[in-house]
């Protein structure tokens, strides 16, 4: 764990505690720290590994303050160890996902085509917010119906684009993108999706976009990773094998992908009866 990661984790902790009205280290109690971990889960939507690291940072920090007698008690002593903590991803039903991706309409502004294309692409390909914003024109192949994605650690992967996403990306490119770029690809950095000023789309803008249309669709607890979670869950629910889902998501280990096998258990008995020789009489 780097010093930068420690600093970032503690900064997030202090910002969240201050927002809760806890402005003194001495006033921090176990309940505030439990709420902070819940905030990391629901609002920040960090992955389990990141939250585990964050919990380690908090535990070490308060253990140090207690050991050096700067605090009488250690409020972090009751936080669960990361090895025991596991977060199941929140997913949307196919019906709610349809409400979300179909939410952008002409009355929502000049960028509605871009927004529809982005939502369709994120759900169709399981992209992270940072990945969809960094896509370049030459990473989209309409003929192949695929995206060449550069993910975490500069790892490259090819992911498919479904017919709906393909159609909306094409509409955005043919009908709207040029009016925002205004032939200045240097400013746009050849990005597939751009801002209203024709500049690269920042990660935070993708978050705001998803939140905006989730509210319009009447959905709660929705952030960019929910589209990624729903993409993976729907693939597995439809019968896709775990290794293929791992490749699509860009996970380094299949262990990370296995969390999605715990989300939908509706077909467990059906699968058992179909494939196990002793499952039926």
Q: Residue-wise pLDDT tens for the chain (281 aa)?
A: 577 878 888 998 998 888 888 888 888 988 888 888 888 877 777 777 788 888 889 999 999 999 998 999 898 988 875 554 555 678 899 999 999 999 999 999 999 999 999 999 999 999 999 999 999 999 999 999 999 999 988 899 999 898 999 999 999 999 999 999 999 999 999 999 999 999 999 999 999 999 999 999 999 999 999 999 999 988 988 888 888 989 999 988 877 787 776 655 555 555 556 655 555 55
The C-alpha atoms of residue 150 and residue 144 are separated, in whole angstroms, by 17
Fold match between domain 3-84 and domain 94-262: no
**pLDDT score recorded for residue 146:** 93
Q: Which of 115, 100, 119, 131 has its CA nearest to residue 172?
A: 115
Contact yes or no for 193/129 (Cβ under 8 A): no
Fold (topology level) of 3-84: DNA polymerase; domain 1 (1.10.150)
* Residues marked as catalytic: 128, 152, 225, 228, 251, 260
**pLDDT score recorded for residue 8:** 87
**pLDDT score recorded for residue 281:** 54
Class of domain 94-262: mainly alpha
| 3-state secondary structure (DSSP) of residue 279 | coil
**pLDDT score recorded for residue 258:** 76
End-to-end CA distance of the chain: 54
**pLDDT score recorded for residue 44:** 79
The C-alpha atoms of residue 228 and residue 213 are separated, in whole angstroms, by 16
Domain boundaries, the chain: 3-84, 94-262
């Amino acid at each position: 764990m780097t010093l930068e990661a420690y600093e970032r984790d503690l900064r997030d902790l202090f910002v969240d505690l201050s927002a809760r009205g806890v402005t003194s280290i001495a006033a921090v109690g176990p309940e505030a720290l439990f709420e902070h971990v819940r905030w990391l889960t629901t609002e920040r939507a960090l992955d389990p590994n990141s939250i585990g690291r964050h919990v380690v940072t908090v535990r070490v920090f308060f253990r140090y303050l207690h050991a050096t007698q700067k605090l009488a008690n250690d409020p972090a002593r009751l936080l669960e160890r990361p090895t025991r903590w596991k977060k199941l991803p929140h997913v949307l039903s196919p019906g709610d996902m349809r409400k979300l991706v179909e939410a952008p309409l002409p009355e929502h502004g000049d960028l509605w085509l871009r927004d529809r294309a982005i939502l369709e692409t994120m759900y169709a390909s399981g992209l992270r917010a940072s990945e969809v914003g960094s896509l370049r024109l030459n990473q989209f192949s309409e003929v192949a119906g695929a995206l060449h994605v550069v993910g975490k650690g500069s790892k490259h992967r090819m992911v498919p684009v479904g017919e709906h996403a393909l159609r909306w990306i094409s509409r955005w490119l043919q009908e709207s993108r040029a009016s925002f770029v205004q032939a200045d690809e240097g400013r746009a950095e050849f990005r597939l999706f751009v801002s209203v000023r024709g500049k690269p789309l920042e990660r935070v803008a993708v978050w705001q976009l998803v939140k905006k249309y989730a509210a319009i669709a009447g959905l709660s607890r929705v952030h960019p990773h929910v589209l990624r979670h729903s993409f993976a869950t729907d693939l597995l629910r439809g019968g896709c094998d775990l290794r293929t889902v791992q490749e699509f998501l860009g996970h380094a280990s299949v262990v990370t992908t296995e969390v999605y096998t715990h989300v939908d258990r509706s077909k467990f008995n059906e699968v058992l009866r179909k494939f196990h020789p002793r499952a039926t009489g």
